[in-house]
Structure 1
Amino acid sequence: MDVALLCAAALLAAPPDTESDGSFSSYHFAEGYDEVVRAQSPFYDELPPPGGDFGNPPTTFDPGGIPPSNGPGFPAQPPPTGPYNGDPFAAPGGTFGAPVPQYGSGGSFYTYGTNGPQPYRPGYSFDFDAGYLFDSGASSPYGSLAITEFDLELANTKIFGNGTAFTFANEFDVRLFDGPTSPNLGVFNGVPADVYRFGWDFVLDVPVAPQWSAQLAFNPSINTDFGNGLSREAFQFDGRGVLFYQASPQFTFAGGVGYWDRLDDMIIPYGGIIWTPNDRWEIRALFPKSRITYFAGHMWGKPTWIYADIEYNVESWEVERGGRRDQMQMEDVRLVLGARKDQGWGTTFIEGGYVFNREFDFKRGGGFGVDDGAIIRGGIRF
């Protein structure tokens, strides 16, 4: 675990040097980050392909086989069998009852195993996350700050005959702030008690050529505390474009740009390397979020993964301060260790870690820093 943590930290040593620039809404970084890479393979990362129990010798790959009820296995990597023409989630029985798909559109490569990008799941899906950032000191005279987070997303995905996938997601997020307050702040009073985000995410994944694919996304949102009506500062318009090249079953390269609409407009790189060295490990050395994942086997009868994440997080809202409109931005870096488990009906996760490089900025002045602190989060996906 310590090795995984150190590796994750090395993948993303520091965020960009900025104090007031905004970034892609990190409310859905867990989901949005996976969306950037998950459609590059027909296999999903909650289960390996069939072939026997964990730990048994590899067995013959059967493109039409059904994952056994007693657990996944590790077949030898087969040669490409043609374009993917199946839906891994369509068969009765959910994840365990789904037929095994073939290679992706255009004959792209993929590592067969327990890790790897997750494909789009046709139809509706629901995510719910909750988190708590423990009370930490804030710079004088702001006192201290604790934050409770709730994130919900309802998405619908359609897959077309040529392998193109389109996803539309409704997003709703809440942040509850406990502090900071001070009688000496005057018109530059503390943060509001609660803020809200209503977002709509449009994502298009397109196969471009053999081993090449692209993603385009547009994510408008309304971000406010409802304190003094809505103005332009409450509306944010984010976007990204990413190109992927699957060089081999072990390596995928990604490169692109994102537009982040916050206190200041910002264009940042999207990209890095996805490396799957074997059936147990996957390393996503990407910006703005990196992840190391290790398949730990079956715990209490369910496939379980352990992971380490590090992400650059920026969120922003229009708020009321001193009786007038202002714009508030929260910026930090989050390093967490977690575990996720496939429950058959869906996936659950829990994670905890450390938040640092924390800053609050306001368009009309009066920003402050927050001390490093602990974070804990959990959620479900189905």
Structure 2
Amino acid sequence: MNNPMRPPFLVAILLLVSFASVRAGEQMQSVTEKKTEAVSLDLVELQSSYVFESDLHRGGSFGQQYAIDNSFSYAHRFFLTGHLYLRLGIDYNRFDFGSNGAPVPDHLQSVAGVIGIDYMHNNDVGAFIQLKPGFYTEDDFDNASFDVPITLGRIFVLQPDRLYFFVGANASFLRGRFPVIPLAGLIWMPNDQWKVMAILPEPRVIYSPCAKFSVWGGGQFVGGSFRTDRDNAIVPAKLNGAEVDYSEYRAGGGFIYSPCDNVSVDLGGGYAIQRRFDFHRADMTYKTDAAPYLRVEFKAKF
């Protein structure tokens, strides 16, 4: 059953970089002719990561386990009125895990639509609300695995072009312990070279010696809430069709190559401090030890 998609997407990313570089040149020429930056209408994100093997345990050891994470999202903005845009798209995410003796899923995946309203200031999002109706499961795409995670947020300007405050919230009906989570953070840009992004899920400090290259250090939270498949043979039985919150806590660094403002390729790595399978409603948790990880991400907006 375990058929992981290997740290893939690399070929796709290279193809997208080639395509995006051509589009980027066109966008740069267009932007230089305008006093204000146009709103990006097409948004693409592609990401792949690999966490090396480490011990999975709950009381005793269940053996070694790796984790692979692949995701893709695309959205298009439609102008509504004034600064408001409707954002529609699709989002796919999949985790694959190495097999061992633990009663945890060997993969988790989500397929969801994206429905959002963005308040845009030039090409920056000032406020938004987003719904992601879809299925969050192993393989059973039914009403038990259907969820509509909701995220909303707003950015307040504390000092123009320098200091911003973000506040928001995220809700998920499948999440076990805290269905609603408040969000808050700061964005600080003391000068053109330094940027501090103290916001989940990727808090980081970024240094940009030039326009095309940046280096960063920080953390990353990865995961989601899912419903496991029905399995009458699983032991313990309370994990049959159970809700599970999967999470990874990472710390590391990397560099970003940006041929222009519209395109970026992020290569990074570090340590996954811990991975967790939290069956909150069944009152069971499985954890891993720390392990190295590698990650590549492509983003484009046109």
After TM superposition, the score normalised by the length of structure 2 is: 0.76
**Which structure: greater strand fraction?**
2
The answer (yes or no) to whether the contact 1:293–1:306 under 8 Å persists in 2 is yes
Q: Distance in 1 between matches of 2:243 and 2:216?
A: 35
Task: Give the corresponding residue for 1:217.
Answer: 130
The answer (yes or no) to whether the contact 1:269–1:287 under 8 Å persists in 2 is no
1:309 and 2:218 aligned: yes
What RMSD over aligned residues (CA atoms) do the two structures have, in Å?
2.9
Q: Distance in 2 between matches of 1:256 and 1:200?
A: 21
Query: Alpha carbons of 1:230 and 1:141: their partners in 2 closer, same or farther (altered >3 Å)?
Result: farther
The answer (yes or no) to whether the contact 1:157–1:166 under 8 Å persists in 2 is yes
Shift of 1:279: 0.8
1:157 and 2:77 aligned: yes
Q: Distance in 1 between matches of 2:24 and 2:223?
A: 40
Correspondent of 2:252 among 315, 333, 336: 336
Report SS of the residue matched to 1:94. helix
Task: Give the corresponding residue for 2:87.
Answer: 167
Shift of 1:288: 4.5
The answer (yes or no) to whether the contact 2:208–2:214 under 8 Å persists in 1 is yes
Q: Distance in 1 between matches of 2:113 and 2:49?
A: 22
Q: Which amino acid aligns with 1:148?
A: I
Q: Distance in 2 between matches of 1:274 and 1:207?
A: 17
Shift of 1:249: 2.1
Correspondent of 1:127 among 28, 45, 48: 45
Identity of aligned residues (%): 16
The answer (yes or no) to whether the contact 1:224–1:318 under 8 Å persists in 2 is yes
Q: Distance in 2 between matches of 1:308 and 1:93?
A: 29
Q: Which amino acid aligns with 2:250?
A: R
Task: Give the corresponding residue for 1:355.
Answer: 272
Correspondent of 2:26 among 91, 94, 104: 94
Report SS of the residue matched to 2:104. coil
Query: Alpha carbons of 1:265 and 1:165: their partners in 2 closer, same or farther (altered >3 Å)?
Result: same
Shift of 1:120: 4.7
The answer (yes or no) to whether the contact 1:205–1:214 under 8 Å persists in 2 is yes
Cα deviation digits, residues 224-246 of structure 1 (max 9, x gap): 111x56342x1222112222222
Unpaired runs of 5+ residues, structure 2, are: 1-22, 235-239
Moved more, 273-282 or 235-244: 235-244
Correspondent of 1:256 among 161, 168, 172: 168
Q: Which amino acid aligns with 2:248?
A: D
Q: Distance in 1 between matches of 2:179 and 2:64?
A: 29
Query: Alpha carbons of 1:250 and 1:199: their partners in 2 closer, same or farther (altered >3 Å)?
Result: same
Shift of 1:340: 1.5
Cα deviation digits, residues 162-208 of structure 1 (max 9, x gap): 122222220112211112x22xxxxxx53233322101222212269
Question: How many pairs are equivalent?
Answer: 263
1:377 and 2:295 aligned: yes
Q: Which amino acid aligns with 1:135?
A: E
Query: Alpha carbons of 1:342 and 1:207: their partners in 2 closer, same or farther (altered >3 Å)?
Result: closer
Query: Alpha carbons of 1:258 and 1:195: their partners in 2 closer, same or farther (altered >3 Å)?
Result: closer
Correspondent of 1:242 among 153, 172, 175: 153
Task: Give the corresponding residue for 1:46.
Answer: none
Moved more, 133-142 or 281-290: 281-290
Query: Alpha carbons of 1:267 and 1:193: their partners in 2 closer, same or farther (altered >3 Å)?
Result: closer
The answer (yes or no) to whether the contact 1:142–1:368 under 8 Å persists in 2 is no
Q: Which amino acid aligns with 2:252?
A: V
Unpaired runs of 5+ residues, structure 1, are: 1-90, 105-118, 183-188
The answer (yes or no) to whether the contact 1:195–1:224 under 8 Å persists in 2 is yes
The 4+ residue runs of structure 1 with deviation greater than 6 A are: none
